Each structure stands twice: as C-alpha cells, then as structure tokens.
Amino acid sequence: MTEDEVHYIPELGDNRELDEEEQISCSLLPMTGEEIRAYQRAMVGVKPSSQQAMKKAEAVINRIITERVVSIDNYSDIKGNPILNGEELFERGEPALIDEIYEALSSISRLKRGQRKN
C-alpha cells in the first residue's frame, strides 16, 4: 500500500461485524482536486435525469472505480470468483458495493484535498 492509499472497510450487509480476517476490505487511492473538477465538468450542460446524464454518470463512475480502487480482499462475485480490483468490481460486483465505494472515494478525496490546503 502506498502512502496515499486509504484502507476502507465497506458497511455492506454486516461486513463490519465480521471477524477482521473475513471482512471485505479495499485499498483506495483518493482523487486529486483536478480529477474531481474534471469529473464535475463532464456533467456540465447535461440535462439531469436524461438518458445522456445516466450514460455520462455511469462512465464517470466506471472510470473512478477502475482507476481508484487499487485492491479488494475477501470479495467474490455471485459465481464465487474473486474480485480483486476496481475493474473487476465494476464489471461483476454488487451495485450496492460499487455505490458505497464510490461514495467513500468521493468523501476521502474531499477530505484529503481539504487536509492539503491546511
């Protein structure tokens, strides 16, 4: 794990109640302020709730998850195949976990950016 990576334990189901060695965990790399602004600009001028907005949002989330989820431990798809990184998570993971990790990435990225300003 590099210096910038953040260890995250998802809440999904009762994951945080499990023994540590059984918990789903992931290593996340926070986005830079420039990346956050670029993703926000990608949505400018798109009519909310339109099909175009949904496609753009999915593409942005795909890119963030793929690039910023470095590794995942103790997680498998519905067929029992391990999911080890962001690309595999976006392709085969549960939507609820993808959403939770996206929210965590957004949150830690804002926090890290705010800490750098101080």
pLDDT tens digits for 22-60? 999 999 999 887 777 777 777 677 777 788 878 888 888
pLDDT averaged over the chain? 87
In a domain, 25, yes or no: yes
Q: Domain of 106: which CATH number?
A: 3.30.2220
In a domain, 112, yes or no: yes
d(CA 50, CA 48): 5
In a domain, 22, yes or no: yes
In a domain, 29, yes or no: yes
pTM for this structure? 0.82
- pLDDT level of residue 87 (50, 70, 90 thresholds): very high
The reported pLDDT for the residue numbered 35 is: 79
- pLDDT level of residue 109 (50, 70, 90 thresholds): confident
The reported pLDDT for the residue numbered 104 is: 94
Which structural domain, as residue segments, surrounds residue 35? 6-117
Q: Could you count the other beta carbons within 10 Å of the beta carbon of residue 69?
A: 27
pLDDT tens digits for 56-75? 888 888 999 999 999 999 99
Domain count, the chain: 1
In a domain, 1, yes or no: no
Output phi, psi for 24, to 5 deg: -70, 130
**High-pLDDT (> 70) share of the chain, %:** 90
5, 96 Cβ separation under 8 angstroms:
no
- Tokens in use for 72? 């995942």
> Could you tell me which residue, 20 or 3, shows the higher pLDDT?
20
What DSSP character marks residue 32? P
**Mean pLDDT across 8-21:** 97
d(CA 36, CA 108): 12
